[in-house]
Structures are given as C-alpha cells and as structure tokens.
Amino acid sequence: MDPNKQGVFSTFAAFLEMLCSEITMARLNRSNVFCHFSHTGIDDMSDNTCHFGLNVFFADNGLEEASGYQTRLYFPADCNQAKKVTERTFPLQGDGFQNRGLRFVFTTRSKTPAILRDDGSEFYGDGYTFVPDRDEVIREGTQGYIVSFGDALYRCLDAVLALKAEGIDVGLINKVTLNAIDKHTMEKLASSPMVLVVEPLGYNTGLGSRFGSWLLETKHALDGGVVAKFGRVATYREGCGGLWEQAYYQGYDSESVQAKVKKMLNQKREKN
C-alpha cells in the first residue's frame, strides 16, 4: 500500500460487525484508512427494532501493532468536538504529527447539546485543540469520577452538576479516544474513591467491559493498594423506535446516573 495515500469509508455503526475481516486485512496490509460510522448509540432515530448493543470495539480487534501504525477509535461529544476531531485525525500527516493506520470516528444519531464550562462558554469552542489519546477533564471532583463520551457525556454533565448542587463532589472525564490508555488520567482515577463508566454502547462489549481491568492494572503499578470502587452503565435492552426515551429505558439518563453514583458512594460509606 502507498504510505502517502488513504482510503475513506463511511456507513452506519450497526454495520461495523460486518466489516471485521475487511478491517483485519486493512491492518495486516498496513493500510491507512479513515472511517466514519454514523448513528452510533440509541438517541433520536425513529427506526424499527434497533441494534442498541453496538460493538464498536470490534474495530480494535488486532494484535499489537508495528511502531508508527495504530488503530484508534474516536467518539466526540458534540458538534464542535466532532469538527475538531476530524480536522486533527483525517490528514495523514501535519505539523509534528502522523495519523498512520486505521482511524474510526463515531458520531451520534442526532445533534447533542454543546458541552459547557462553569462560566457558560463552550468547552469545545474557540481555543480548543483536540489531542488524540488524551482524556479530558470536564469537571474536577473529590469524591470520584464519571467517565463518559458521545451522547452520554452531556447527560452525565447534567448529573454531575445536579450532584454538586447537593454537595456530592463528583467529577467528569470525557474519554474521546476510546481504545487508548491515558496514563495520567488512569492514575488520577485509580487514586480516586469511585469510578463510574457511563456509555451508549453495549454492556457486554463496550468501554466499561475493559475499563475496570485498566484501572486495576494502573492501581497495581502505582502502589498495589485498594482500587477505586468501580461501576458501569451501558445499553443492555433491545427496543424499538430509537427516540430520546431510550436513554431512560436503558438507564443512562441524568437521574439514573445520579442514583447510581449515590448508591455507589453510600455502599462505600457503609463498608467504612
């Protein structure tokens, strides 16, 4: 394959499972491919019986890759970030960076609200630069962190703000690069009292199914102490419609996330 050329491909996220062999062959041939998978998650799309347990991690199905060639899964949280992610990851090379390998960008079924800072400004507006493999702290917290991405992030931000208003100081992390371990963030989370992964992907095969192992390995490498209390919320039910009500049906709406955090913190207090 020509190292200075790349393939560009786009389809619905539900069709990713049909492409596993093609993805493997592209990886074995050291191809450069930029892929966009739309309609990821469960929000706002009036379909019939839907594929809600999306297995996007099937795209990251290879062995350890050669130096300079990698597979990356990106799931931006709003339109502003989607633009920044695409601008940074589409070019094969630029000022001080390379994007060799397979890049998969996932977007939601519908627009999501802009992620805001405490002062009301847009988090991913002017002045923001996307850095691959780096997790982003949306809010700090002393009692633990929620880790999220995609359309689940704005719901989790609402939950975090509501919890803080009640005196429960929980933070929020946006894990934009789904399959890369950010060492700095993982050490931060491993040293915190609680970590909850909230996602619009399948419970059995999503981020949460592997994040606990990353957390445990990080804690062991740090000091071998007790790992943070860990939980996960993800899609787990079949359903029809794909409208906004599905977030409530699947249990990753703001109120459900708040209830999960309170339960985890209460359980920790009881054990102490």
Residues 233-266 have pLDDT tens digits of 998 888 766 567 888 888 999 999 999 999 999 8
pLDDT beyond 50 at 271: no
Q: Is 132 helix (H, G, I), strand (E, B) or coil?
A: coil
| Rounded CA separation 177/154 (Å) | 17
pLDDT tens per residue, range 41-55: 776 666 656 667 678
Q: 125 burial class (0-12, 13-18, 19+ CB within 10 angstroms)?
A: middle
| Rounded CA separation 8/21 (Å) | 17
Q: How many structural domains compose the chain?
A: 1
Torsional sign, CA 87, 89, 90, 92: positive
Cα-based angle 216, 174, 167 (whole degrees, multiple of 5)? 85
pLDDT tens per residue, range 127-168: 999 999 999 999 999 999 999 999 999 999 999 999 999 999
Could you tell me if residue 1 is inside a domain? no
Read off φ and ψ for residue 200, nearest 5 degrees. Answer: -95, 20
Could you tell me if residue 23 is inside a domain? yes
Could you tell me if residue 130 is inside a domain? yes
| Rounded CA separation 265/46 (Å) | 37
> What number is the average pLDDT over the span 94-110?
89
Could you tell me if residue 122 is inside a domain? yes
Q: Which amino acid is at 153?
A: L
Both tokens of 215, joined, read 């957390």
Whole domain around residue 100: which residue ranges? 7-271
| Rounded CA separation 157/155 (Å) | 5
Could you tell me if residue 197 is inside a domain? yes
Could you tell me if residue 2 is inside a domain? no
CATH number at 100 reads 3.40.50.920
Could you tell me if residue 245 is inside a domain? yes
Could you tell me if residue 72 is inside a domain? yes
pLDDT tens per residue, range 62-84: 876 666 789 999 999 999 999 99
